[in-house]
Amino acid sequence: MVSQATVPGSPARAVSIPTQRRLRLLLGRDWKIASVFVFPMVLIMLGLIFWPFFEAILLSTTALNFISGQTVFVGFRNYTRLLTSSDYLLSIQATLQFTIWSLTIKFATGMTIALVLNSRIPYRNVLSGIMLLPWIVPEIVTALAWKSIYDPIFGGLNPILQGAGIIDQPQGWLSDPDLAMGSVIAVNVWKGIPFYVLLLLAGLKAIDREQLEAAEVDGATAVQRFRHVTLPGMRFVIIVTLLLSFISTFNQFGLIFLMTGGGPSGVTKLYSILAYEKAIRSLQYGPGVAIAFSVAPLMAVIIWMLARFMRQEDRTVPTRKGPGLGDRVAKVAKRAFSAFLDLVFLPAELLVKFFELVGNAIRALLPRQQKQVLIRREERRRWGMVGRLLVLVPFLLFVLFPFYWVLVTSLKTTPQISERESVFWPDPFTLEQYTSLIGDTPFLLWLLNSIIVATVSTVISVFLAALAAYALSRLKFAGAGLLTTFLLITYLLPGTMLFIPLYQTLTDIGIINTYAALIVTYPTFLLPFATWVMLGYFRSIPVELEEAAMIDGASRFYAMWKITLPLAAPALLAVTLVAFTTAWNEFLFAFVFITSESLRTLPIGLQSMVVGDILPWGKLMAASLLTAIPVAVLYIYAQRYLADGLTIGGVKG
């Protein structure tokens, strides 16, 4: 007897074929394979990002009744109380001050360095590599190194400034309320230089040199060329860089917490530190979450603006509608900002004009032969190159001094450090700090924990990101655009808004204070970043290569594995390097989720070596150097892929 479903034209087959067609029309041509590719990422986004996010919203409407020990619903009382809380208002003021000053200085510094590195100077690749060095340093190492430099007794900054006659007595850079904020801003600038230099340098390389040459021929000065050609051409890169930096700077936690703990007198207590103290230390989860979520409207605006700029290439279809309110507001803001830039650059333009007039006057007074020597083009180029190198020297010293300080301090004996003998040079050289570190502390155990957590979380994140990015860039299925938007939102969502609800979630499922707590949660910030970068890179690879392979009989997965992934090697290496570095350096989640001494990662282990006011600077600097070495080795090996992988992926994404 023949089954009815196998007979052509039978009722079962007549029903199944239209059903498949309807599913393809409804869900997209590639919905079956796409669901396999994106399901793990969707599961992580829903289970560990969006669900904790909405759970935190509910948690922020509750408070602990200290009499009954029960959690009670209080509505929006936690939020309304913030408006009259002096601690909260001061923390927001400190956060804004820290963010605005940091962004301003980082942008000016990064743009100056990028302009110099984009010009004709010798050893440009070496100098570019040096400027990117702060990026590879773990946050804990940055905090400890600068805390050591700032130390009023054992540090290196006071002797330098006293020797130069700038100060007449040692200063407490992190203990003086008048100096602490400026001190931590300087460290944030040092840490942020690589990010700005990398993106702004990529933007400068994309500027059409013919436009600059045409402006020069028309008589435009260097300042005018920068103002009217370079800046407009870099508008997209500058806005994206500033918005991304705003999110990370505004939500800073680890660096400030490690250096000052929010002190002295609360002048550096950012809102993220206040939220941590309220929720984790005081066990007031509702008020703590309310503090963290009080900045959600601001973050939503910033994320919306970033999404609009970073996905601007998707809006290629012209519309017949007139300009909306948002477009009109943007137009007015653009004009106002342009007028502001004209005002900012006016003094520089007047100064350049003044020097031109002085130069012309000097040339007019010189004999003809000397005049010809002065206007020799090669001489001007040579002196211009020397001038650019001189501009770069202070930044080089600023970047390199912490590395030098960590190295020389780790090679000193403990008495030499405490007695301030030979401050800037070990005399004698010794390895006793390293032997003491390895023999007297669980440093090797912390190292092993970091290797396990960083490696496993990186492998999981990059593998799942490759699948999801391929599906979003190649496959046709319903919801791809919405999923890409959610991906960007999770990519930009600050960790300070998630660590409290994630702590509750991990506690509920029983994996708090385990390796799994970190391995499960690290993809919440590694996976969105890796997917977004690889999505842009996959879009830059011609799809015809895969189509030709599939015509010859290759499956979709085989075409991806054998053709697309090998071509995307720069992006894979770049996101792997960044993901591993981020996981290796991560402090906030490890600090909150891990309490067992045997499970501490390197950042938490190094932080635990500081007991009250007792800081074993020698061992701390030795540990800092050894902590940075694995990332430095990876960075040296893969740095040639870093710029291509990140810039192509970041722009195309």
Give the confidence band of 362 by pLDDT, cuts at 50, 70, 90.
low
CA–CA–CA angle 348, 352, 357 (5° rounding): 145
Q: What are φ and ψ of residue 317, in 5° steps? A: -85, 120
Kindly state the average pLDDT of the residues 455-470: 92
Give the confidence band of 3 by pLDDT, cuts at 50, 70, 90.
very low
For residue 395, pLDDT beyond 90: yes
Give the confidence band of 640 by pLDDT, cuts at 50, 70, 90.
low
Kindly state the average pLDDT of the residues 269-295: 89
Residue 495 in contact with residue 589, Cβ under 8 Å?
yes
For residue 239, pLDDT beyond 80: yes
Distance CA 499, CA 509 (A): 15
For domain 29-59+442-596+624-653, give the fold: MetI-like fold (1.10.3720)
For residue 355, pLDDT beyond 80: no
Percent of the chain scoring above 70 in pLDDT: 81
Kindly state the average pLDDT of the residues 106-123: 88
Kindly state the average pLDDT of the residues 385-411: 90
pLDDT in tens, 164-198: 889 889 899 999 999 999 999 999 999 999 889 98
Q: What pLDDT is attached to residue 532?
A: 81
Q: What pLDDT is attached to residue 449?
A: 95
Q: Which is higher by pLDDT, 278 or 232?
A: 278
Tokens of 60: 């922020």
What is the DSSP code (8-state) at residue 137? Answer: S
Q: Which is higher by pLDDT, 338 or 70?
A: 70
Q: Sign of the C-alpha dihedral, residues 314, 318, 324, 328?
A: positive
Distance CA 565, CA 627 (A): 31
Strand bridging mode 71-73 / 62-64? antiparallel
Q: What's the pTM?
A: 0.81
Q: What pLDDT is attached to residue 157?
A: 93
pLDDT in tens, 592-627: 899 898 999 999 999 888 877 677 888 999 998 888
Distance CA 357, CA 574 (A): 49
Distance CA 653, CA 644 (A): 13
Q: What pLDDT is attached to residue 653?
A: 43
- The domain limits of the chain are 29-59+442-596+624-653
Q: Sign of the C-alpha dihedral, residues 618, 621, 623, 625?
A: negative
Tokens of 632: 């430095």
pLDDT in tens, 404-462: 999 999 999 888 888 777 778 888 888 999 999 999 899 999 999 999 999 999 999 99
Comparing 293-307, 482-496, 574-588, the range with the smallest average pLDDT is: 482-496
pLDDT in tens, 518-543: 999 999 888 888 888 888 778 878 88
For residue 243, pLDDT beyond 70: yes
Examine residue 264 and say whether the peptide bond preceding it is cis (omega within 30 degrees of 0): yes
For residue 85, pLDDT beyond 90: yes
Q: What pLDDT is attached to residue 356?
A: 64
Looking at every residue in the chain, the average pLDDT score rounds to 81
For residue 246, pLDDT beyond 80: yes
Distance CA 164, CA 392 (A): 20
Distance CA 415, CA 231 (A): 53
Q: What pLDDT is attached to residue 329?
A: 59
Q: What pLDDT is attached to residue 17?
A: 57
For 50-118, give the secondary structure using H, E and C: HHHHHHHHHHCCEEECCCCCCEEECCCHHHHHHCCCHHHHHHHHHHHHHHHHHHHHHHHHHHHHHHHHC
User: Which candidate, 648, 602, 322, places its Cα nearest to that of 437?
Assistant: 602
Distance CA 181, CA 253 (A): 14
All residues at 6 or more sequence positions from 247 whose CB lies less than 8 Å from its CB, including other chains = 299, 302, 303, 306, 492, 494
What is the DSSP code (8-state) at residue 6? Answer: G
Q: What pLDDT is attached to residue 192?
A: 92
- Highest mean pLDDT of the ranges 68-82, 175-189, 278-292, 330-344: 175-189
